[in-house]
């Protein structure tokens, strides 16, 4: 006799509207088919996970991951890190070491590579040409891209270029027709260039990186693209916002009818500019770490529902790219996809800064909804993919970078005291991480085609 379920998971289920204690999820063919408050009697399953006393969450959807900025990383390594951190869906950035993903041919080649290499599911962002390329926008949206990513700062003319304001205006109008969101790295190029030159001779002090990218360089850029979004009607997403004023400005533009969402990142909630002398280049991130008061201000906004999502901005540079005595000569970014859920649970939920349901909204539900994956991902609900992350809240532990899975081999959170331990990660009902070991296999992960409405 065949079992009624492929999998039955017992535990405290974190649903969109609250926690259902001492309950069970039934899984069949990779989908959630039942959620019951009492342990179901007479139900058979091929596999049972007893997680009584633990929290069963929807897997995190990390909406800001650079798998191929460093060719040492790639989909297999990044997705292994994701599995070990409770991230069941990665939203992959289009800025690869080999160039920008901005044509249908490049998109399809990368999608095929993804499905051969990844342990977890992935959606893909794309970018635009520095000039024209409007038919590519329409083709890429039709192919299932979950959104577009552009930068107002010229990080790298080849793979991560600045798009000027006129091109943004024209492109936003075309992207608006597709219903896709367009996400922006918002830093004013002229201000940053000028201030890098201003502080260039002080590169031996790691804090000079933050001084070279003042808050106003971020807010001026954000205001520009929000005005363009208001004009064109495009769905705008602001990446890696570092301090509260950006979210307050976003709320103002939403009050005018603009379609604006905004994120912050793990590091802006846990680290500050005061950590730069200790971290050195490991803390060099664009935009930079801000003040301790900004950190607390972001937590306050998160608790009030004023932040749409928290992401990792995973950028796994090897230590050799982070070892120069001059802060300006080092690469910007840090590994983070494996930290996202554990750190936000420990620093947010365990410390009483945000609720469990708010964390699920920030890490799972809103990222899925904003990027067109909400038909399958981001919730514990019947009919959704059985993407689960299970956390035992009773376990205290210390983060050890030697145990992490990224090619980077280091962590800005080394030695952090943690509360709550991830015990299982499941993607579409299959266990990919269990009892401290990654057990998923490359090639299991699927490309998730986005569904958007204009």
pLDDT digits (tens, 9 = 90+) for 292-325: 999 999 999 999 999 999 999 999 999 999 999 9
- Alpha-carbon span 89 to 376, nearest angstrom: 11
What pLDDT is stored for residue 185 in this prediction? 94
What pLDDT is stored for residue 132 in this prediction? 67
> pTM value?
0.96
What pLDDT is stored for residue 39 in this prediction? 64
Q: Cβ distance 10 to 50 under 8 Å? A: yes
Residue 90: enclosing H or E segment and its boundaries?
strand 87-92
Across the chain, what does the average pLDDT equal?
A: 94
What pLDDT is stored for residue 266 in this prediction? 98
What pLDDT is stored for residue 159 in this prediction? 56
Q: Any idea which residue has 């990446």 for tokens? A: 239
- Characterize 305-322 residue by residue with b for buried, 16 or more Cβ atoms within 10 angstroms of its Cβ, and e for exposed: eebbbbbbbbbbbbeebb
**Regions of the chain with pLDDT less than 50:** 1
What pLDDT is stored for residue 97 in this prediction? 87
Q: Which tokens hold the place of 345? A: 């649970």
Q: Any idea which residue has 């040409």 for tokens? A: 129
């Amino acid at each position: 006799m065949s079992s009624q379920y492929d999998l039955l998971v017992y535990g405290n289920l974190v649903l969109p509207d609250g926690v259902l204690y001492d309950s069970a999820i039934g899984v069949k063919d990779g989908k959630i088919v039942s959620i019951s408050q009492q342990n179901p009697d007479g139900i058979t399953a091929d596999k049972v996970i007893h997680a009584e006393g633990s929290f069963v969450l929807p897997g995190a959807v990390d909406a800001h991951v650079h798998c191929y900025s460093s060719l040492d990383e790639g989909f297999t390594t990044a997705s292994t890190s994701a599995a070990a951190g409770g991230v069941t869906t990665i939203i992959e950035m289009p800025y690869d070491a080999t160039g920008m993903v901005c044509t249908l041919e490049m998109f399809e080649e990368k999608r095929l590579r993804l499905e051969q290499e990844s342990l977890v599911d992935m959606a893909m962002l794309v970018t635009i040409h520095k000039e024209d390329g409007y038919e590519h926008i329409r083709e890429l949206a039709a192919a299932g891209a979950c959104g577009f990513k552009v930068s107002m700062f010229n990080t790298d003319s080849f793979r991560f270029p600045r798009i000027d304001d006129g091109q943004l205006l024209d492109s936003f109008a075309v992207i608006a027709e597709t219903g896709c969101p367009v996400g922006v790295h918002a830093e004013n190029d002229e201000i940053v260039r000028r201030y890098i030159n201003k502080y260039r001779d002080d590169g031996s002090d790691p804090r000079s990186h933050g001084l070279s990218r003042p808050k106003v360089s971020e807010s001026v850029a954000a205001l520009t693209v929000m005005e363009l979004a208001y004009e064109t009607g495009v769905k705008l997403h602001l990446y890696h916002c570092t301090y509260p004023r950006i979210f307050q400005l976003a709320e103002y533009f939403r009050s005018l009818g603009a379609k604006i969402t905004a994120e912050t990142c793990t590091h802006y909630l846990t680290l500050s500019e005061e950590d730069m002398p200790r971290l050195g280049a490991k803390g060099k991130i664009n935009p930079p770490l801000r003040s301790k008061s900004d950190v607390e201000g972001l937590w306050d906004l998160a608790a009030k529902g004023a932040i749409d999502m928290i992401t990792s901005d995973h950028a796994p540079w090897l230590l050799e790219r982070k070892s120069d005595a001059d802060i300006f000569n080092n690469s910007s970014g840090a590994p983070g996809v494996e930290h996202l859920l554990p750190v936000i649970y420990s620093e947010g939920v365990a410390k009483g800064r945000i609720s469990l349901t708010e964390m699920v909204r920030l890490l799972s539900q809103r990222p899925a909804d904003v990027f067109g994956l909400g038909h399958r991902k981001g919730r514990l609900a019947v009919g959704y993919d059985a993407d689960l992350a299970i956390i035992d809240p009773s376990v205290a532990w210390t983060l050890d970078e030697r145990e992490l899975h990224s090619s980077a081999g280091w962590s800005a959170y080394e030695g952090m005291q943690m509360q709550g331990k991830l015990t299982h990660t499941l993607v579409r009902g299959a266990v990919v991480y269990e009892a401290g070991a990654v057990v998923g296999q490359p090639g299991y992960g699927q490309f998730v085609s986005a569904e958007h409405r204009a």
